[in-house]
Structures are given as structure tokens and as C-alpha cells.
Structure 1
Amino acid sequence: MNNMKEYEIYSDMKVPLSSTIILRLDGRGFHTISKNLNLKRPYDEVFSFSMAKTAEYIFKEFSPLFIYTFSDELNILLKEIPFNGRIEKLNSVFPSFASSSLTLNLNESLDEKITLPISFDSRIIPISDIVSYFKWRQNEAWRNHVNGYGYWALRKTLSKHEATSKLNGLSSGNIHQLLFEKGINLNDFPLWQKRGIAIYKKKQHNNKNLNNENNNKSNKYSNNNKHEIFTDLNLEIFNNEFFESIFGKYF
């Protein structure tokens, strides 16, 4: 009998261990899950903070450099690549870990329990210009913010098709004006909705954890008890200075 192991022809595909990669996870079918759980639109605080908590779990398990999340998306920056860089492992373990973590987090926070499976897809992105990548994703978070409030404001009086058609071709400025005329000022909403949420390591004396937990002395994930995982709900606009403040002269 032939060695069946020989049929695992993709199992040896690896990311070069000297490279820097971003693993981007995107929620699959989250529109249906959101409707099933009756989440608030366009933003549900419980869901968004559960995504941030999921990112914290990933950070503790795999020690990435940085995670950025908005909507149903997780962007995981890895320099020390686990699983010896095996692509099959990276593209299976990370999304399955995220799926189970998010399920646990939502079930802890919601009265309505999840009855549909949660899943993420995954892609590996070799990266050299980290700043440009995260600026691109943060710009997407801002577009989602503007369009999301525009769409759901219109849905109060228009059908799904009518609201989508009305938004087509409108600039961000036009949508701002449309919302303002309906009594909605985007400046009134929290920064995490506009700019997303980031998880990274920060010196303890500056820490304001999402859960306000004071675990400075016992945090086994800290670096010699000098840094701990920090969930940033008030992000700056991404630029070189922001990332240098986290990584030093990493770039």
C-alpha cells in the first residue's frame, strides 16, 4: 500500500521564518449571525468588545507584535511565526481559535446565546510596509463608519435597495451632510468606531485595560513584568510615529 502521507502535498508549504507576515481573519456570514443575535446596527458594543477580547486571547496564545480589529476583521502582525511557518497550520489554527474564542466571549456577554456556528477565513500577507498596510485598514474602518451610519439612518424610512441606491456615488462629505440633516453628528461617536481597536504591549504604568483588571504582578504574558497586553480604544490615526512608539526603530 502506498504511503498515504505522500498525498499531503501541501503540508510542507511554509512561510520563510525570517519574514514578517500579517494574518488577516475575516468573519464569514456574520450578517446572518448579527441578525440572529439581534445585534445593534451599525455598531454593537458587546460584539465589538468581544472581538477585542478575542484579539487579546490570540495575543496571549501566539504572542504577535500587534493586532488590529474593526467590524468582523482581525489583522495579526507576526514576526516570530509559530508552527515552523507551516501555511496549513497558520490558516487553520488561527481562524479556529478565533471562532471558538469569539463564541465564548459572546455567550458570556449576551442574553441571546449563539445557535449558529461562527467561522473566519484566513489569508497570509507577506509585508514590508507595515505602516501603509494598517493605514489602509484604518481608512477602511472609517469608510465603514461613515457608510454604516448613512445606511442605517436611511433604512429608517427607505427599503434596503433604496438606501443602497441613495448612498451609491456619495462622497464621505455628502454622507456627513445627509446625517447632519437627520440630527446625527459623527463627531459624537467613540473613537473605536471610527478608527478600530488595537491590541499591543505597553508599559504597565500607562495601562488601562479593557476590563480594568489590575493584574500587573501576576500577568504571565508580560515581558519581565514591565509590559502587558493593552487594548487601545482611543487610537491615533496610524503613522510612522505611532508604530515607532510601540516598536521603537523596528521599521
Structure 2
Amino acid sequence: MKECEIYSNIKPPCGCKVVARLDGRGFHRLTRELDFKRPYDPFFADCMVETSINLMKEFSPIFIYTFSDEINILFEELPFNGRIEKLDSVLASFTGTSFILCLLKKFKRDNIRKPISFDSRIIPLGDHLLVEYFKARQDEAWRNCLNSYAYWTLRETMDKKTATEKLKGLKSGDIHELLFERGVNLAKVPTWHRRGIGVYKRIVTIKGYDPRYKKEVKSERKRIVVDKKLPIFNEDFFKTIEGIK
């Protein structure tokens, strides 16, 4: 029956970068049931970061970008020989399990009423589209920030239906004004709310002591860093990421 496995050897085109994008499934229900803070919960964000770090350690991608319940993983060399079926299934299951393990540090098993899952999709990109892709995802992070702050600020004094109706059809400038009138200046909220979080490797200098020569020595090591103060993505930023050619 091996011949029936018609999708098992599908791979991305040769010579391109590949992004795996993972999205939490049913996370509106999850955040409601676990009573996370709105619009942004630090523990939830920490779990997304911890999951991203676990992905970095397990699969050695170049760069991971996360916001809300989304994780984008940039690969130079693909695991599983690039088999898309394998990539999608393993990345999704690994991400879901990692996220649950983080939740269990704070919540009891009984608090998590349903299984947690992520979907996964594989996106091949030419080098010329790399910055454009991540800029588009960062733009989505900004829209998510703008709309989330607006909705949950209104919910302080309105029910769900009224808040939704009030925001319907408003442009970005109108929402800014609405928030400003209620004492919320988005320019002053944490950068990661507006631009997301990056997880990547950076070369750092390590100081040590060599007892043989009785002197201080320096060496370079790659370390995983969590960047919560990302700039607006551009070509110059991606030139600083270790491994991107």
C-alpha cells in the first residue's frame, strides 16, 4: 500500500528559503477559559517564546518570529529531508506539546478542558520575498495590537455587541483617536505588543580565565536571544541575523 502515500515525498522547490507558519487552533476559547489578561497576557507570551526556543533547539532554524498565537519559523536547511507532510505534522505536534507543557507550569491539568493544537503550513520564498513576508506578518501584528487594544478598552464599559458595532468600519486613525480619548497611547505600550518577538542566534563574546597562562581569555559563542524590542523589519535587520545569507 506504499503507493497510496501519494503526498509523502512532496518537497518545496530547490534553492529557496522556507517558512513554516503555525497558528493556534481555537485559542480564543482557550484564553477565555484560562482567564488570560486582555489584550496581552505576559504568561501567554512567555509560553509562545518558550515554545519558540524549544523549536529553535530541536530543529535549528535561522529565525523565529512570534506574535499573538502565531509562530513563523525560517529555515535554511530543512529537517526530514524537506518532506512537507513530515514537516507539517511534526512541527504542529511538537509546538502543541511544548505549549501545553508551559501552560502546566501555572495551571492544573483540570483547567485545560480540551486538547490544544496548532495548524502548520509550509511557505517557500525566494530571497527577494523574505523581508516582504516578515514585514507582512509584522504588519498583521500591528493590526492585531490596534484592534485588540481598541476592543478590550471599549469592553471596560460596553458589552461585546456594542463594542463590536462601535469599531465597525473605523479606520486606523479613528481607532487611534478613540484610544487616545480613553487614555491609551499605543506608542507607549511595550514594543512586543506592537511588533512581536524575535528568537534567533547571535554571536556573543564570552570571558574566561586560562589557568595555564594565568590570564583572561575571550571566545565567541552562539547564543539564543529573545528580542522583545524588534525594529520595523527591513533588509538591514535581516542582515544581522546569524545564518541568513
TM-score (norm 2): 0.88
Q: Specify the SS of the correspondent of 1:226.
A: strand
2:133 match: 133
Q: Choose 1 or 2 for highest CA Rg.
A: 2
Following the alignment from structure 1 to structure 2, what is the Cα–Cα distance between the partners of residues 178 and 124? Answer: 38
2:118 match: 120
| 1:16–1:85 CA contact under 8 A, matched in 2 | no
Following the alignment from structure 1 to structure 2, what is the Cα–Cα distance between the partners of residues 159 and 96? Answer: 36
1:226 is the counterpart of 2:221: yes
1:40 match: 37
Once the two structures are TM-superposed, the CA of residue 182 in structure 1 deviates from its matched residue by 1.1
Change (3 A) 1:179 1:89: same
| 1:17–1:80 CA contact under 8 A, matched in 2 | no
Q: 1:82 aligns with which of 79, 83, 98?
A: 79
RMSD: 1.9
Once the two structures are TM-superposed, the CA of residue 6 in structure 1 deviates from its matched residue by 2.0
Once the two structures are TM-superposed, the CA of residue 111 in structure 1 deviates from its matched residue by 6.2
1:147 is the counterpart of 2:147: yes
Once the two structures are TM-superposed, the CA of residue 33 in structure 1 deviates from its matched residue by 0.6
Q: Specify the SS of the correspondent of 2:28.
A: helix
1:19-58, aligned counterparts within 5 Å? Answer: 19-58=16-55
| 2:202–2:242 CA contact under 8 A, matched in 1 | no
1:150-169, aligned counterparts within 5 Å? Answer: 150-169=150-169
1:95-244, aligned counterparts within 5 Å? Answer: 95-110=92-107, 113-128=111-126, 129-205=129-205, 226-244=221-239
Q: Which structure has more strand as a fraction of its residues? A: 2
Q: Specify the SS of the correspondent of 2:9.
A: coil
| 2:62–2:241 CA contact under 8 A, matched in 1 | no
Which ranges of structure 1 fall in alignment gaps of 5 or more residues? 207-223
Following the alignment from structure 1 to structure 2, what is the Cα–Cα distance between the partners of residues 23 and 189? Answer: 29
Q: Specify the SS of the correspondent of 1:99.
A: helix
Percent of residue pairs identical: 53
| 1:17–1:84 CA contact under 8 A, matched in 2 | no
Q: Specify the SS of the correspondent of 2:226.
A: strand
- Listed one character per residue, the Cα deviations across residues 40-91 of structure 1 (whole Å, up to 9, x for unaligned) are 1111100011101100000000000100000000000011011011111011
Once the two structures are TM-superposed, the CA of residue 31 in structure 1 deviates from its matched residue by 0.5
Once the two structures are TM-superposed, the CA of residue 163 in structure 1 deviates from its matched residue by 1.3
* Residue type of the alignment partner of 1:244: K
Change (3 A) 1:175 1:92: same
1:94 is the counterpart of 2:95: no
Which ranges of structure 2 fall in alignment gaps of 5 or more residues? 207-218
Following the alignment from structure 1 to structure 2, what is the Cα–Cα distance between the partners of residues 82 and 21? Answer: 11
Once the two structures are TM-superposed, the CA of residue 203 in structure 1 deviates from its matched residue by 1.9
Count of residues paired in the alignment: 230
Following the alignment from structure 1 to structure 2, what is the Cα–Cα distance between the partners of residues 159 and 49? Answer: 29
1:246 match: 241
- Listed one character per residue, the Cα deviations across residues 125-148 of structure 1 (whole Å, up to 9, x for unaligned) are 111211011111111101111110
Following the alignment from structure 1 to structure 2, what is the Cα–Cα distance between the partners of residues 23 and 89? Answer: 12
Q: Specify the SS of the correspondent of 2:73.
A: strand
Please, which moves more after superposition, 8-17 or 70-79? 8-17
TM-score (norm 1): 0.86
